[in-house]
Structure 1
Amino acid sequence: MGRGVIACTLFAFATPALAEPTPPGTVADRADPATTEDAAAAQLPRQRDAPLLVGAPPPVPGAPGTPIPEPVPGGTLGPPGVPQGLRWTEDWSFLADPSKRTSPLEALRYIPLGSDPRSFLSIGGEIRYNYTYFSALNLGAKGKDTLSTLQQRLRLVGDLRIGADLRAFVELGDNREFFDTFATPPNRDAADIMQAFVDVTVPLTANSKVTLRPGRFEMPIGNGKQVGLRDGVNVRYIYQGIRGTYINRGVVRIDAFAVKPVTFTPGAFDDAPEKTRHFNGVYIATAPSLLVPSLGVDLFYYDLYRENARYVTKIGTESRRSWGVRFAGRTDGFDYDAEGTYQTGSFAGERIRAWGVLLEGGYTLPSGPAAPRLGVRANVFSGDNNAADGTIQTFAPPFPRTPLYSDAGWLNFSNLIDVFPSVTLKPAKRLVVVAGPDFFWRQTAGDGVYAGPTNFPLIRPVGKGRFVGTNYNLQGDYIFTKNISFRLFYTHFNASEGFERGGGRSSDYFGLWSDFRF
């Protein structure tokens, strides 16, 4: 594609990624779906229902009371007729009535197959352009690494439904970057199969069912922090294997999986599951108030094996198991999410004993201009204080949402403490703005600071001081229509003296993406 074509296309579709659902970690009865017109009329959910957090994906378009998509096989779909970040959570069945179609593209979203209105083919697509600028991509760890680039993500989706209990889903993708001075691998993957799976659902009772999903798929889990999407780059985390979900509506959801991560290579149709890694686990989510009043309680277990693990002093084979619990809820304007994880296993002949705590909460004022939400996030991830004691204490999440702290994705969830007070404003119906400083410390001075995209050691600060630096974040999300959205993110990282003495430096990041989905 020539530069002129790129520029024209960017102008035509100028807008950031349309509402990706922040995966819910609890199960509840859902309200009846609102109409497509209702969903389009209130493109941003009320903040007290779904607070927007720095590092989180844009909100799901939908009016209050519309369904919240559940990113599990057989889970609740999103509002009818509204494209979602996870394309397999979309609901286009209402288009069985031709009078409901409001645009020519919607004719592709429902192609009937026979007399059963539940049997149809749905074809969709996506065009996303993401401009990013880093004054120091690796915060000084790799010398001069200023990067200015334009990422292009193209997708073609096919969703085949046969009755209520059988579906086949395919997503083809093409991922490019332009004007870069050096390559960033997750942004380069020529035409390939991003997702291809089959869902087979077996109803058990009026309120319960089991769905099996073999194939290749995206898989955010829980609140999407420890097992996320990696949406700041073109290629998300993709897995190949099998996933199964038991849902007892209003009581419990049990999600189990055995998968391998899929590699991304620059050629066409050459991606394959990694031979040196596997990822298995179980996530149990209870309905709010089932065990604790006003709270959903989740339990999870992850088993990650990889042969290329790397920490400050060693590289070797790692088998890491994560055991965790999460509490999340909303009441009277307050929202809260608390998650704790303890890790065991082995790495390069040494045992693993690590832990992490993720806390998030806020209060949305019941009245007032711009519906302000005052929030705070506080996370603590353990580090290794003694590299010679035969125990690895550095916390390492399986597949983290790297833009947890900011879209720059500089830092990971290892040997780190962060505290982020924030203000969220909704100055217009379709616009949300978030701002605040994020303060970072090492959990222990005996360990380094780890890179967001790879979890490899990034910088080893010099001195006994544990302060790493501060991110100054500004985020804006604008839903122009149900098909088009914009996202802007700016952050300045102000490095501490110890971080600079270790070879690091301050950096700026600016990102602007536009997304068109149908």
Structure 2
Amino acid sequence: MLRAIQAAAAASISVAAMSPATAEPPSFSNNRADEDWSVLADPANRTGAAWERFKFVPLDAAGESRLTLGTDLRFRFERYSDNFDSAKPDEIYGWSRIMPYADLRLGPTLRVFGQMLGAWADRSALTEGPVDETGVELLQGFAEASAPLGSGELSIRGGRQMVAYGSERLIGLRFGPNVPLSFDGARARLSVGDWTVDAFAYRPVANELGNFDDRSDRSRKTFGLYATRALPEIGPKSGLDLYWIGYERDDARFDSGVADERRHTLGTRFFGALGDWSWNHEAMLQLGTFGGERILAWSVATDTRYTFSAVPLRPFVELKANVISGDRGPGGRLGTFNALFPKGKYFGEIGLIGPANLVNLHPVIGVSLGSGWSLTGAAVFYWRQSLDDGVYGNPGNLIRPSAGSRARYVGTQGEVVLGWEATTNVTLETSYALFEPGRFLSETGSGKTVHFVGGEIQFRY
């Protein structure tokens, strides 16, 4: 299998070398539905790569109706040792997935998109879950219609779809684990000038281990409005988000108990780039009810980077900092922040801690080594925001209750990631991480240092 992938990489290199590029084609996205290959209608924008013939297949003389085909293929292994969750054994396991898709555009107004998922895992039954394996399923299948509306455009999309907003702190693709997250529902999008406004209503897809058995999760739903204003006066990648996201979940579990959750998130995000600086800052307030209690939770997340663009290897330094509220104890009101449907591996490759009841500092450094190679290193420091609340996992599950401990420090994490973009189509990555439990985890359970090793190879066209 590895030889086949190496052969595919070599073929991609040789084909690209035969025809020098006259223009950069669109880049691949984790959500393939976001890609638009219509620029390949102009032969001057083609590189001559063999796979490009599948990205723009005209169905009429004008090329207004067209078909795009592609796939993602990934093999990944991970190894954990001395996991601080005593229910999970030391293990090494493999993930494999394939995600072929077809994008049919019928003129400028109608679109049908379909994407399949095959995801399998070789993992212990004690730890295997819906992010590991789901067999063969429909990952995305939606129809979309669009039409001019005044000076803008209105589009309506309905069906099963992958969804990501902002930096995926609240609604993300869950792309890092083996099974991405998709939703059943509808979205209306209005684009006018520098503004884009979405109105949406979704239920997440509940993943099961068999084939073609994934259905909408009837115990959870989300709905809301999400608006983005581009700020070209600051930079081409700068903007401001304003949003309201509603969320309902039956039998939600927090450190304070189990009850039905009805939550509303109001937030704003300011992001952009100016010269060598880039930033992504977000503030969120949550209100609602948890059984008979009121909800009052909040989070402030910042991410600031400086790149030394004039220095060889273009090194960068980055600081991420988060304050995420926790509960003050049973009764009164629930203060635990709920990140709803966040991106996978939220705080790094090891993926042990999730965004709830935390104060977090996350410095990162990285360099571009040339020829597609990159190297990054990070340290992460975790404290409990509230001493009366526990520690949660990435999907919001309670992994360690407070148990009366008055310790604040949760632990220290470090990681190194080496990546290589071998060709446009082939990427490889390997990582090593460790997690040193702090006083809180040592007082409430296992205090062993967790070690993690991961590696993957991905092919796309």
Per the normalisation by structure 2, the TM-score is 0.91
| CA–CA separation in structure 1 for the residues paired with 2:37 and 2:43 | 12
The percentage of counterpart residues that share the same residue type is 28
Residue 159 (1) aligns with residue 103 (2): yes
Cα deviation digits, residues 409-461 of structure 1 (max 9, x gap): 21111100110112121121522222121110000111111111343343537
Give the corresponding residue for 1:146: 90
Residue 386 (1) aligns with residue 332 (2): no
| CA–CA separation in structure 1 for the residues paired with 2:143 and 2:293 | 40
The structural deviation recorded for 1:294 is 9.9
The structural deviation recorded for 1:89 is 2.0
Give the corresponding residue for 1:497: 439
Give the corresponding residue for 1:237: 181
Residue 313 (1) aligns with residue 256 (2): yes
Structure 1 contact 14–514 (Cα < 8 Å) conserved: no
Residue 450 (1) aligns with residue 392 (2): yes
| CA–CA separation in structure 1 for the residues paired with 2:295 and 2:425 | 46
The structural deviation recorded for 1:360 is 0.8
The structural deviation recorded for 1:296 is 2.4
Residue 216 (1) aligns with residue 194 (2): no
Give the corresponding residue for 2:417: 475
The structural deviation recorded for 1:385 is 1.7
Q: Which runs of 5+ in 2 are unaligned?
A: 11-19
Matches within 5 A, 1:74-473: 79-80=25-26, 82-96=27-41, 100=46, 102-136=48-82, 139-178=83-122, 180=124, 182=126, 183-205=128-150, 208-249=152-193, 251-288=194-231, 296-388=239-331, 390-460=332-402, 463-473=405-415
Give the corresponding residue for 2:13: none
| CA–CA separation in structure 1 for the residues paired with 2:271 and 2:390 | 31
Cα deviation digits, residues 287-323 of structure 1 (max 9, x gap): 2167999962211111010113111131121011101
Structure 1 contact 459–503 (Cα < 8 Å) conserved: no
Cα deviation digits, residues 215-271 of structure 1 (max 9, x gap): 10000101222211111212111101101111124x211112101111111222121
Structure 1 contact 402–412 (Cα < 8 Å) conserved: no
Cα deviation digits, residues 112-163 of structure 1 (max 9, x gap): 2122312111221121101111114xx4233352121110111110110111
| CA–CA separation in structure 2 for the residues paired with 1:149 and 1:14 | 25
| RMSD over aligned Cα atoms | 2.5
Q: Which runs of 5+ in 1 are unaligned?
A: 1-5, 16-34, 40-78
Q: How many aligned positions are there? A: 449
- Relative distance call for 1:278 and 1:516 in structure 2 (3 A) is same
| CA–CA separation in structure 2 for the residues paired with 1:425 and 1:402 | 24
Could you say which structure has the greater relative contact order, defined with CA pairs below 8 angstroms and 6 or more residues apart? 1
Structure 1 contact 459–499 (Cα < 8 Å) conserved: no
Per the normalisation by structure 1, the TM-score is 0.81
| Among candidates 430, 447, 454, match of residue 511 of structure 1 | 454
| CA–CA separation in structure 1 for the residues paired with 2:357 and 2:441 | 14
Aligned partner letter, 1:503: G
- Relative distance call for 1:248 and 1:487 in structure 2 (3 A) is farther
The structural deviation recorded for 1:8 is 5.4
Q: The residue matched to 2:54 in structure 1 has which SS? A: helix
Structure 2 contact 388–404 (Cα < 8 Å) conserved: no
The structural deviation recorded for 1:349 is 1.6
Matches within 5 A, 1:8-23: none
Q: Which has the higher strand share?
A: 2
Aligned partner letter, 1:203: P
Q: The residue matched to 1:445 in structure 2 has which SS? A: coil
Q: The residue matched to 2:441 in structure 1 has which SS? A: helix
| CA–CA separation in structure 2 for the residues paired with 1:243 and 1:7 | 40
